[in-house]
Amino acid sequence: MDNILELFRSGAGDNSLVFWLKELLAAVVIFTFYWVLSLVARYLLTRWAPRLTSFTRTDLDDRILRRVTPPTCLLVVLAGLYFAVKSLPLPEKAHVALSGAVFILNVIVVTNIAWRAIDELLVWYGTRLAERHGTGVDRQIIPPLEKLITIFLAGIALMVTLRHFNYDILSVVTALGIGSLAIGMAAKDTLANMISGFTLMVDRPFRIGDRVQLTSGQWGDVADIGLRTTKIKTVDNTLLIIPNSELCNTTIINMAFPDMRAKGKVSVGVGYGSDVGIVKRILTETALDFPDVLRDPAPEAFLVSFGESALNMALFFWVEDYGRVFATTDRINERIITRFREEGIEIPFPTRTVFLEKEQ
């Protein structure tokens, strides 16, 4: 390549026009060489490389290869542009500006290649997590990792660029450290929420889709776990947005752990003249009439207290999915009213007997 360039440049003489034409021609030859090289690289990456990756057990390498092929070919072209610009006898300032701009483009493309490969790896890993631990896990772990890796790659690209232009990286890092300290002091609450978000993702006291109850009594399904906040959607379609630092320092009831089963309760009062044994039998039989109610553990009925006007009974039953508790409770209540009417069991109204003594 050097001999060919010297051949183009030889015999320029004192004619500046001829000299510049030969220099431009030499630069075009360099760029054309790398452009042809990019076509060869594209051919190898699209035709021959897939034959090698087909022998592996997963399609991860095939997907990475498809993602990185376009920017890799572009990188070869930009490398040719960089060397073509460097070969031109330009003024020092113009040379530094043009070659520096092309170098920055090369750094951007290299960073993009690295990001595409890592992104495919994260997508593949997220799919594996979802298969092993259920959907929603990948949504908790992968987005924060993507953000961290993006920041890391951007930092590496910035340091390489600064190093190329002979900037003192240590001074820049020191300045960034002082600036980060000031920002950290000003945004300590945000940082606390972000650290708490990582804690929630690692400890996993709840997952996306789990039904949780807060100490305030509010409850709902976890819609999203972010770096700063967690979103909980209540049954009345209200979205609670709670800072992660608050969730890490409070008691949370997770209805989905250790499994999806949930206990339902029906409270009913019967007259004092009722046979408690018959009432218990009717309550348990009524619960067993519904397929959503589990047979193991079996429904149980109890006399829980003596009220002012009724014997207070309670029926406890289990369902397979906590989302079915309210619907099942509604149907059991309707059936209990029907059975009590059929059996002649009274559900008394609240009454109070007042004795008035007449003064003599």
Secondary structure percentages of the chain, helix, strand, coil, to 5: 60, 15, 25
Would you say the CATH fold of 262-343 matches that of 200-254? Answer: no
Q: What is the pLDDT of residues 195-209, one digit of tens each?
A: 777 777 767 788 788
Cis amide prior to 205 (ω within 30 degrees)? no
Look-up of token digits 């022998």: 55
Residue 339 · residue 282 · CB < 8 Å: yes
**pTM greater than the 0.75 cutoff:** no
Sign of CA dihedral 341, 346, 348, 354: positive
Least confident of 117-126, 179-188, 254-263, 267-276: 179-188
- 284-308 pLDDT, tens digit per residue, is 999 999 999 999 899 999 999 998 8
pLDDT band, residue 136 (cuts 50/70/90): low
Give the model confidence (pLDDT) of 99-114 as tens digits.
788 888 888 989 999 9
Cα gap 199→189, rounded to integer Å: 15
**Closest listed residue to residue 278, CA positions, set 245, 303, 308, 309:** 303
Q: Look at domain 262-343 and name its CATH class.
A: alpha beta
CATH class of 200-254: mainly beta
Per DSSP, helices labelled H in 165-234 are 169-186, 188-203
